[in-house]
Structure 1
Amino acid sequence: MDNVKIILLGYMGSGKTTIGRIVANHLKIKFLDLDSYIEHEEKMSIGSIFKEKGEVYFRKKEHDYLSQIFLKETNFVLSLGGGTPCFGDNMDLVNKNTDNSFYINVGIPELSKRLIVEKSHRPIIAHLHDDEMPEFIGKHLFERSFFYNKAHHKVKSNQNTPIEIAEAIVNSLV
């Protein structure tokens, strides 16, 4: 495979990073996580960037680094942050640079179950009570679905394992 660029997007907790690592390992290509890439380049955590420099700064840098990855890298699987597709022209940038963008679509009940366990590591939901999670996620998904659905491929994932989802992605590559 030559110059393969696979982009995974979806809500936080949808398994983008886990699935991305499996796909990259299977194809023997590089795995990149956009949030980790930003943290490495900015030499600070995403939470610190938001706190110290604000969301506008973060979203600008997010777009810049996404563009940089497409210019510099070949043969990779890239996991986007949950909000990345929804800002600027990020989804247009993604779809202009690859025919292999995948929306990992996980239902609200499953996302709630996963995120309740991870709450403390996720600043955007850390303040929520467990019973508020489904409504919060539902509202967010409603707002973001327009952007998520611009992906070339949609992968429904509820009871599927990350390995099963990764296999579906590999089997559908253009």
Structure 2
Amino acid sequence: MFYFLLFTGTALILYGIMGIIKERDLGRQPFLQVEHTSEDAVSRVRTREEDQESVRDLTDRMAEMEKSLFDHLLKWQMEKKELLEKMETGSASTEKQSTEDVSSDLIMEEVRKVPDEILEEKIEEQEEPSKKKPMPENIRRVLDYEEEGLSVQEIANITRMKKGEVLLLRNLSKHYRK
């Protein structure tokens, strides 16, 4: 009986190993096959090239659209700024208008040199002071403790908050007026 079980176990193990080898060979087979027709290979290369060309075309279009949108936004902002200045002064002299035209041309040249992301951040920063709200008391206390030279852990212990909450409040303080 012992020999029978030993023989059966060995046979099953060998059968499993042979199955694994067959699966591995079947997995390698597509990579090892030689292409039968050169037409299939040529058509595959053409479709890849066409796909790459269409992707390049779409990225170029997107870049042009982003550039034109950004230019329109800058023009709109410049017009807005000029209108606000005219409203504040009431009437502008011709000398001021000519200097504004020259300065706006210089600004537009500088704007084209600056990357889009940096310029958008500057635009947001210019608009933010009017949008900023007064700072809540808990954020003010965290900043006061920080100015006193306390560490984040000490502030967390004093205010009975977790360290992450203190860090979050410190980061949120950038969005409020002091």
Q: Which has the higher strand share?
A: 1
Structure of greater relative contact order (alpha carbons < 8 Å, 6+ residues apart): 1
| Larger of the two Rg values belongs to structure | 2
**TM-score with structure 2 setting the length:** 0.18
TM-score w.r.t. length of structure 1:
0.19
Higher normalized helix content (fraction of residues): 2
